[in-house]
Amino acid sequence: MPDLTHRTIAANGITIHIAEQGQGPLVLLLHGFPELWYSWRHQLPALAGAGYHAVAPDVRGYGRTDAPQAIESYTMLNLVGDAVGVLDALGVERAVVVGHDWGAPIAWHCALLHPDRFSAVIALSVPYMPRSQTAPIQAFRQAFGDNFFYILHFQQPGVAEAELEADVRKSMRVALYAWSGEAPKGTAGTPKPKSAGLLERMPEPEGLPPWLTEADLDYYAGEFERTGFRGGLNRYRNMDRDWEQLAHLAGAEVRQPALFIAGDRDPVLGFTRTDAMKTHVPNLRKVVMLPGCGHWTQQERPSEVNQELIELLTTLEF
């Protein structure tokens, strides 16, 4: 089996770093916040071993991929354009797209906007949610009022950056623990006023979760110490802009074969709805809920995730 390799490619007007392994039909792996291509470190060799060309980019704004300064450079249309650009740069007509956290909405929109390029979609953590009647940030402000909600905390440029970048290794250690299945229930959603910081009242773990090594933490910390968090945070600052730009997708259905995987202790499921997939993803093959798993799905439960990915992939025509 070929070894994992790295390179940069020109795509959609920027330079994108990709990690890749294997040969065969293309499986594109899109990470979320605050992650990197590295969050797919367990899936790349597994997919390669099963006969696929697995490609995990650093998403725009992360790692060794370009990070444009303008906030509006991080719209959903730009990120979907990056994914299509990767396919073009690799000379591939069609691929299966897999996404976790923010990578999941990107994956869903790849399927919606370019059904000719993406033959199936696999989403981890974030289900498909149709366009809401109210702009997202307005809806969150109405729902949370004077209470803290991390997406609202991320809206003001510079605020979350300063907090997270003050001690990057500690920030990553606390966040990866608090949103994992190992943290006490409710840790990530501890009530606090909207003026609080993201990490405020989040406990610093005595040790790392069993799925995270010191070497893993070293890699994450090293990359974010170099780049900062602005690129990743800018994705959250485009949610209302996306809502306006993608108005034509109101009521749209994802018709490709689809798979949804999440942990039953994932805090994201506390403010998202999975029931909409019953009607808006008519070819949803399976919903997998992993017991005891938190938000970092493919890192916390790599063997189960790999099994589900390969099981679906073997049924598809690319």
Residues 88-119: pLDDT tens digits? 999 999 999 999 999 999 999 999 999 999 99
Q: How confident is the model at residue 1 (pLDDT cuts 50, 70, 90)?
A: low
pLDDT in tens, 189-233: 889 999 999 999 998 898 999 999 999 999 999 999 999 999 999
DSSP state of 69: S
pLDDT at 2 over 80: no
> Looking at the annotation, which residues are catalytic?
101, 295
pLDDT at 252 over 70: yes
pTM of the model: 0.97
State the Cα–Cα distance between residues 196 and 316, nearest whole angstrom.
47
State the Cα–Cα distance between residues 245 and 3, nearest whole angstrom.
40
Ordered by start, the domain boundaries in the chain are 5-313
pLDDT in tens, 265-306: 999 998 888 998 999 999 999 999 999 999 999 999 999 999
8 A C-beta contact, residue 131 and residue 249: yes
Long-range contacts of 221-228 (CB under 8 A, 24+ apart): 221/168, 221/169, 221/172, 223/36, 223/38, 223/62, 223/63, 224/34, 224/164, 224/165, 224/168, 224/171, 224/172, 225/165, 225/168, 225/169, 227/62, 227/63, 227/67, 228/161, 228/165
Kind and range of the H or E run holding 214: helix 214-227
Distance set, CA 162 to CA 157, 158, 167, 180, 224 (Å): 9, 6, 9, 23, 13
CATH of 5-313, one of 3.40.50.1820, 3.20.20.80, 2.30.30.90, 3.40.630.30: 3.40.50.1820
Least Cα distance to 62 among 28, 39, 88 occurs for 39
DSSP state of 272: S
In one-letter notation, the amino acid at residue 211 is W
Q: What is the largest CA-CA distance in the chain?
A: 54
Least Cα distance to 257 among 104, 117, 111, 121 occurs for 121
Q: Render the burial of 245-265: b for 16+ CB within 10 Å, e for the rest.
A: ebeebeebebebbbbbbbbeb
What the block records as the tokens of 243 is 């809502």
